[in-house]
Amino acid sequence: MSLEVIARGNRLVGTAEIGSLVNAEFAWSRDSKAFFVTYSDGGNVGTYHVKVVYLADAGLRVIEPIANGSKLVRLKCFDQELPNVGAIKWMGRDSSWLLIAVEVPPHSSCASMGTFRAFEIALPNGEIIEGFGQIEAKKAFRADLGQELRSSDDTCILRPFTCAPAGMDTQVSPVRK
């Protein structure tokens, strides 16, 4: 699917399937040179991803800066799962830094379901600048977090063994501190 953006009086075209993405949310960077899109690949219980769309003279360029959130958050689930990755907000005055959340899927088959870590990343390469545990991120960015992240269970961070499904080994915390 082709995406068309009119920016600075120019018509920019590129390939980005954002019109067909499920639960898509987007926000422009402060310098208006890029926007991010957070979306699900399978409805409310699908895996969430972030794409960044850059406006360039030659057209639109789309990247997925964190294609695999399991490099940042270790999951402990009965079935193989990938963590959700969602953009929280642009950091700074331009499109160089983004704050993202990497969340344990809110599925009952995962220990500490719905908990998260936040990361400030550099774009376009997705390099981690700084990481924040869930409790720290809630304090620092509460006004920027959506309802799901604001209401994530802090008990699961403080006492992970209390948030594991029955029959799961609870010796390992699913979210790195």
Region of 111 please: left (phi>0), alpha (psi -120 to 50) or beta: beta
Domain for residue 168, yes or no? no
125 token code pair: 């390469």
Burial of 133 (0-12, 13-18, 19+ CB in 10 A): middle
Structural domain contains residue 132: yes
Does 1 or 101 have the greater pLDDT score? 101
| Domain that includes residue 78, residue range | 2-163
pLDDT digits over 58-97, tens only?
A: 778 889 999 999 999 999 999 999 999 999 999 999 999 9
Task: Give the model's pLDDT for residue 5.
Answer: 59
Instruction: Give the total number of structural domains in the chain.
Output: 1
Give residue-wise pLDDT tens across range 157-173. Answer: 999 888 999 888 755 44
* pLDDT value, residue 172: 46
34-40 and 22-28: which strand pairing? antiparallel
Domain annotation covers residue 177: no
In the structure, what pLDDT confidence band is assigned to residue 24 with cuts at 50, 70 and 90?
confident
DSSP string, 58-115: TEEEEE-S-S-GGGTS---BSS----EEEEEEEESSSTTEEEEEEE--S-TTBTTTT-
Structure confidence at residue 30 (pLDDT): 95
> Is 154 within the bounds of a domain?
yes
Residue 176 is assigned to a structural domain of this protein = no
What pLDDT band is residue 10 in, cutting at 50, 70 and 90?
low
pLDDT at 145 over 50: yes
Average pLDDT over residues 104-132: 96
pTM of the model: 0.86
One-letter amino acid at 107 equals H
- Give the pLDDT band of residue 2 (cuts 50, 70, 90): low
Determine, yes or no, domain membership for 124: yes
Helix (H, G, I), strand (E, B) or coil at 44: strand
User: Is residue 127 in some structural domain?
Assistant: yes
User: Is residue 8's pLDDT more than 60?
Assistant: no
Residue 174 lies in a domain: no
* pLDDT score of 160: 84
Q: Which two tokens stand for residue 42?
A: 């399978």
